Structure 1
Amino acid sequence: MELDALMLSRIQFAFTISFHIIFPAFTIGLASWLAALEFNWLRTGNPIYRNLFRFWVKIFAISFGLGVVSGIVMSYQFGTNWSRYSEFTGNVLGPVIAYEVITAFFLEAAFLGIMLFGWEKVGDRLHFLATCMVALGTLISAFWILSANSWMQTPAGYAIENGKAVPVDWFAIVFNPSFPLRYAHMVLGAYLTTAFAVAGMSAWMLLRHGRDAPEGKLAGARRSMSMALWFAAIFVPIQILVGDLHGLGVLKYQPTKLAAIEGNWERQANMPLRLFAIPDEAAETNRYELGIPKIGSWVLTHAFDGVVPGLKDVPPDERPPVLPVFFSFRIMVGIGFAMLALGLWSLYLRWKGQLFTNRLFLTATMLMTPSGFGAVLFGWFTAEIGRQPYVVYGLLRTADAASPVSATAVSASLATFVVVYAFIFGFGSYYLAKLLRKGPEPIEGLDEDALSKKPKRPFSVPDERLEGQRPQPAE
């Protein structure tokens, strides 16, 4: 592998987008989680929900800010490192990205300040409306981004004029063949990322404080873990179903990617379900293969004798890198079934009345805290690496999309990004960890007047007392 300007540009983009996707995957779900907490507070008047809202909104604010910063950095690369890609796709994808700014960013900008700082200045219902609008904005943003990315996977509604893609049918462009299921898959992935993060942090609080902690100290942790696990138990199976339907779309529109995902070299029926293998691209075979006979064809085509395409159907220069695609897909699927197992386990313990007391389960839930982030990352690795050698599938090769810049220039920018990201995201992650370690304010000792007061600083950590509140005695 030669570290020329093309490879360095690919590494730089992979580095920046991997950092970026973590934050939208969290904030999309977290915004809806905040809306659910505020709705329950308005519905019941239970201060636990408002207390949880005040805790998680700080996490949302920091994560949202880090996501915006990383997204801006990523977008500049379209002009610096991928100018030929921008020239080829600009007439189609430029307006789609503009629609995201006009609809999603403006909506979020209009209501984000009210959600973060305005609860004491506007009525409860107007504040709830602001929270819902921010949540809607995140979903609209994901809509346009997934539409643009899906068009790169399954281009439609275009014509080629003077070597550039131009729009012919905007409906076909926006709702291209892979978009609906990819959008549903991503949104559910974001929601499950938040659900397992909330459940895992809540389980950590229960383990950390133990049975001797005052009831008010753990009330929020119990409530948030219960809500998150209900969501996981219901929606993980739905996500698996959506993923299966998406796989049928990949079989139809991107057969070479599917062949790489399955490590399938020869077109065949009755393909085994490969649980493990080490693909050898030079020899065009798999080593140490472990599989279940015939099941692969049934999973991929819903027929035991279904024909699965092979990598040898296309020349070697038309194939994606097989090894990373093969393993990233299996890691994503493995995480998904671990989520399913935890969700089913939670239902059993809920029925037994041991959801908050089984230490083995709490430990497992805590260890699953980053599982959603991992599933999203490896899912994107599968989708993006599997599209190679094309940046726009079947139309524009990645090698033809790069800017005419030197390897030295890209090396310098990549090194700068690594240093700056380590500094900014290191401090951001440290502050997030500090907030999460403190947890929500205990309910004990807080009356409704105290809950309605605002912190001295908008993002102050939870152990800083509220204005007008008496200091709490040390436990």
Structure 2
Amino acid sequence: MDLSTILSRVQFAFTVGYHYIFPQITMGLAFLIVLLKTLYLIKKDERYNISARFWAKIFATSFVLGVVTGIPMEFQFGTNWARFSAYAGDIIAQTLAMEGAFAFFLESAFLGVFLFGEKVFGQKVHWLAAVMVWLGTWASGAFIVASNAWMQHPVGYTIVGNRLHISNYWEVLLNPWIFPQYLHTMSGAVVTGAFIMAGLGAYYLLARSHVDYGRIFVTLGVIVGLIASVIQLYPSGDLEGQQVAKYQPVKLAAFEGLFHTEQGAGIVILGQPNTATGQLDNPLIVPKVLSFLTYRRWEAVVKGLDAFPPNQRPDSIELLYYSYHIMVGLGTFFIPIMGVACLLWLWKRRLFTTRWMLWILMLATPFPVIANTAGWFTTELGRQPWIIYGLLPTAQGSSANLSAGNVLFTLLGFAGMYLLLGLLYVVLSVTEALKGPESGEGEEAEVAEEGGLPGLATGTVAEG
């Protein structure tokens, strides 16, 4: 693999990794905003409505950054991966175009209605707009996952000359790889949104500021976060593991640092893969668990890396191994964090005054983002050395006439631009969070509900 291709991989990894910070926030918050708006319509408590509008501002900021950082990724298919685009563009372009034509426009159009149309259309249409934004964000995720799933497990194609063509459109859209990956991706996004909401609520309670809203944010974030974290482990994580074992067993071996085929293979808790010696250093292994999790039999044979030719193995086993274990390790810890928080909430609402737990919730806020990013690195590194699994090697998918200097120049440019965008995002989000939900809501609180029932004035909400 030449230097230009390596740098193109680094550039795409950087731009995708940075970009995905924002979609996971919007996909997670969109669902939580619908819950807040629904609670408002049920309870007629203006605090829930104010909360929904507050989080919509954070959502909108994340949405804009997601759009801006997503555009360069699609251009890279032409600039850095021209041979891949020529070979598989007939298939990949379909799902990417559907994402832009349907999901993105649905999401962006109704986001405008939700942000600016409450007074004009009333509360029921405002709730409908929140639902449509949520559906748009999740539909967008579905089409992107469908594109990636096809690259992981290509189906519904024919080879004509030097290009792939769709032979069965529905087979592409109903690829068996999609559902486990989509469920895992969406539940991971909800975990991110829930931790962000709970973390900000915990900050408000610790700072004794916007206390009523802090309680709402912590309560909703913890309950939804616990459910989503459990789904991440089972069924979505379990389904993902089984399909990897079925379709990409070499990826599974690299996940676990399993250098040699074993009967009754154990699952690795700790250890460092040593590719030079072909073993794990300082391993801590639970016997036979990997065999049971993948094949439902304690004595099942699990193929190791030695069962595959060297040119069929992932080219960065160490990075893949650590990315996988960061994802799994953090995801496992999310369950007890949210579980203990839920127990404290159920026990006479002690969560609101248990400062050590509030500190944990606040400090844990960024870790779902790290876990989700590590998860995508795991997915993509494990597919190597293929850009389309089993069909097109990565080394044959890059642009033929692109020099390493060109790629390095654009990589440095993206790094500088994304640094400025990141600083802008942090300033805007932190400023909005410090102002709190009640800031500027005096006029909005007077919005009359459909049917003529006035909303509760913000000033009547008691703090403390």
Instruction: Return the TM-score normalized by structure 2.
Output: 0.93
Q: Does 1:348 align with 2:343?
A: yes
Distance 1:3 1:56 in 2: 46
Query: 1:172: Cα distance to partner?
Result: 1.4
- SS of the counterpart of 1:59? helix
Secondary structure class of the residue paired with 1:121 = helix
Structure-1 separation of matches of 2:14 and 2:90: 27
Q: Which residue of 1 aligns with 2:31?
A: 32
Matched residue type, 1:324: L
Contact 1:218–1:442 (CA<8 Å) still a contact in 2?
Answer: no
Give 1:14 deviation, angstroms: 0.6
Counterpart residue number, 1:460: none
1:9-48 correspondence to structure 2 within 5 Å: 9-48=8-47
- 8 Å contact kept, 1:391–1:397: yes
Structure 2 counterpart SS, 1:290: strand
Q: Distance in 1 between matches of 2:272 and 2:38?
A: 50
**What SS class does the counterpart of residue 84 from structure 2 fall into?**
helix
Amino acid at match of 2:42: R
1:457 aligned partner? none
Letter in 2 for 1:329: Y
1:452 offset after TM fit, Å?
3.3
Shift of 1:421: 0.9
Deviation at 1:469, TM superposition (A): 10
- The answer on whether the counterparts of 1:28 and 1:187 sit within 8 Å (CA) in structure 2 is yes
Report if the CA contact (8 A) 1:27-1:64 is conserved: yes
Aligned-pair CA distance for 1:177: 2.2
Deviation at 1:284, TM superposition (A): 2.1
Separation in 2 of the partners of 1:331 and 1:180?
Answer: 23
2:276 alignment partner, one of 272, 277, 282: 282
Q: 2:323 aligns with which of 325, 328, 347?
A: 328
1:273 to 267, 272, 275: 267
Which residue in the other structure is 2:364 paired with? Answer: 368
Whether the 8 Å contact between 1:20 and 1:67 is mirrored in structure 2 is yes
Distance 2:274 2:97 in 1: 43
Deviation at 1:96, TM superposition (A): 1.3
2: CA distance, partners of 1:430 / 1:309: 49
CA distance in 1, matches of 2:416, 2:218: 36
The answer to whether the Cα contact below 8 Å between 1:79 and 1:86 also exists between their aligned partners in 2 is yes
Q: Which runs of 5+ in 2 are unaligned?
A: 449-456
1:235 is displaced (CA, Å) by 2.9
Q: Which amino acid letter does the alignment assign opposite residue 43 of structure 2?
A: T
Compute the displacement of 1:268 (Å).
Answer: 1.4
Give 1:440's match in structure 2, choosing from 437, 442, 453: 437
Q: In structure 2, how many angstroms separate the alpha carbons of the residues matched to 1:89 and 1:37?
A: 42
Residue 233 (structure 1) shift: 2.3
Name the amino acid aligned to 2:411: L
By how many angstroms is 1:425 displaced? 2.0
Q: Which moved more, 1:129-138 or 1:233-242?
A: 233-242
Q: In the alignment, is residue 408 of structure 1 matched against residue 405 of structure 2?
A: yes
Which residue pairs with 1:101 in the alignment?
A: 100
The aligned residue for residue 458 of structure 1 is none
Q: Deviations over 1:436-464 (max 9, x none)?
A: 22322179xx77x651379xxxxxxxxxx
Deviation string for 1:66-87 (max 9, x for gaps)? 0001111111100000011111
* Per-residue deviation, residues 104-127 of structure 1 (Å, max 9, x unmatched): 022123322111111122221112
Matched residue SS, 2:121: coil
In structure 2, do the counterparts of structure 1 residues 126 and 469 end up closer, same or farther at CA, with 3 Å as the change threshold? closer
Do structure 1's residue 237 and structure 2's residue 233 form an aligned pair? no
CA contact (8 A) 1:28 1:138 kept: yes
Contact kept in structure 2, 1:271 and 1:308, CA below 8 Å: yes
Structure 1 45/391 Cα, relative in aligned 2: closer, same or farther at 3 Å? same
2:164 alignment partner, SS class: strand
Show the counterpart of 2:424: 427
What is the distance in 1 between the residues matched to 2:3 and 2:226?
47
Shift of 1:371: 2.0
Q: Which of 260, 264, 272 is residue 254 of structure 2 equivalent to?
A: 260
Deviates more, 1:171-180 or 1:142-151: 171-180
SS at match of 1:278: strand
How many Å apart are 1:131 and its aligned residue?
1.5
Bigger drift between 28-37 and 75-84 goes to: 28-37
- Gaps of at least 5 residues in structure 1 are 455-467
- How big is each residue's C-alpha offset from its partner over 1:193-236, in whole Å with a ceiling of 9 and x where there is no partner? 10011001111111122xxx6xxx31011012101111122232
Tell me which residue corresponds to 1:397: 393
1:158-204 Cα distance to aligned partner (Å, 9 max, x none): 11111211111112111212111101111111111100110011111
Q: Distance in 2 between matches of 1:70 and 1:436?
A: 23
Q: Which of residues 317, 322, 342 is equivalent to 2:311? A: 317
Is 1:63 the equivalent of 2:72?
A: no
Separation (CA, whole Å) in 2 of partners of 1:469 and 1:221: 15
Could you say which residue in structure 1 is the equivalent of 2:146?
Answer: 147
1:299 paired residue number: 293
Read off the aligned partner of 1:161 and give its amino acid letter: V
The 2-side partners of 1:315 and 1:94 are apart by 32
In the alignment, the residues of structure 2 paired with residue 293 and residue 313 of structure 1 have an alpha-carbon distance, to the nearest angstrom, of: 20
Number of residue pairs the alignment of both structures matches: 448
Counterpart position of 1:465:
none
Deviations 1:31-75 (A, max 9, x none): 121111111112221011011112111101100000001111111
Q: Distance in 2 between matches of 1:451 and 1:5?
A: 56
Q: Please, what TM-score do these two structures have when normalized by structure 1?
A: 0.90
Aligned to 1:82: 81
Partner of 2:200: 201
**One-letter identity of the residue aligned with 1:391:** I
RMSD, aligned CA: 2.1
Which of 387, 390, 402 aligns to 2:383? It is 387
Cα shift readout 1:267-312 (whole Å, capped 9, x = no counterpart): 1111122112211223322222221222222223221101111111
State the one-letter code of the partner of 1:363: W
| Shift, 1:316, TM fit | 1.3
Instruction: Give SS of 1:286's match.
Output: strand
Provide the rounded CA distance (Å) in 1 between the counterparts of 2:30 and 2:338: 22
